[in-house]
Amino acid sequence: MGERKHSEPALDDIFLALSHPTRRRMLELLQDHPSCVTDLAGSFDLSLNVVSKHLKSLERAGLLARTREGRVHVLRSEPQALAPATAWLSRHLAMWQGALNSLESFIIRSKSQTPPP
């Protein structure tokens, strides 16, 4: 539970970026092969405008890097930028698992203290 408030917007950006199937597919494609915007757009039945909106969402979250090679923009996925989201998930997973374990102990304890009527 050590997050600081100012780290939250980045986390929100990451989860929002990942929350759309098209953007997840984009990341998967770019993970295997860095590519230019037009080639990437060719894998989707979407207008360039919509593709560009998805890319901006991924860039805002830091999950995608854009480099210029000559006149072409090359897109690469940046999987290490997922770290805050992975940390959030594992912390919450640990918290809820711990909570259910202690609920179990509590139930067992209260059973042994209160005999059934």
Partner 1 sequence: MPTPTVSLTVSKILPCRPAEAFRAWTVPELFQQWFTPGPGIQVTAEVDLRKGGRYRLTFRMPEDKPSVVAAGEFLVINAPHYLEYTWSWTWGAEPGQPNHTVVKVEFRELAEERTEVVLTHEGFNDPEDCDGHTKGWTSILDHMAAALGSGPASG
Tell me whether residue 77 is exposed, middle or buried, using C-beta atoms within 10 angstroms of its C-beta: 0 to 12, 13 to 18, 19 or more.
Answer: buried
CA neighbor of 64 nearest in space, from 37, 46, 45: 37
Query: Smallest distance, Å, CB 45 to partner 1?
Result: 9
- CA 117 from chain centre, in angstroms, equals 50
Sequence-separated contacts (24+) of 90-95 with Cβ below 8 Å: 91/1, 95/1
Tallying the residues shown for the chain, one arrives at 117
Q: Which is nearer to partner 1, 16 or 72 (CB)?
A: 16
In the complex with partner 1, which residue's Cβ is closer, 49 or 71? 49
Binding site for partner 1 (CB under 8 A): 1, 3-5, 8, 12, 15-16, 18-22, 24, 27-28, 31-32, 46, 50, 53-54, 57, 77, 79, 82, 85-86, 89, 92-93, 95-108, 110-111
Nearer to partner 1, 38 or 102 (CB): 102
Task: Please tell me whether residue 13 adopts helix, strand or coil conformation.
Answer: helix
Minimum Å distance from CB 71 to partner 1? 26
3-state class (DSSP) for residue 80: helix
Closest approach of Cβ 105 to partner 1, in Å?
7
Residue closer to partner 1 by CB (options 70, 116) is 116
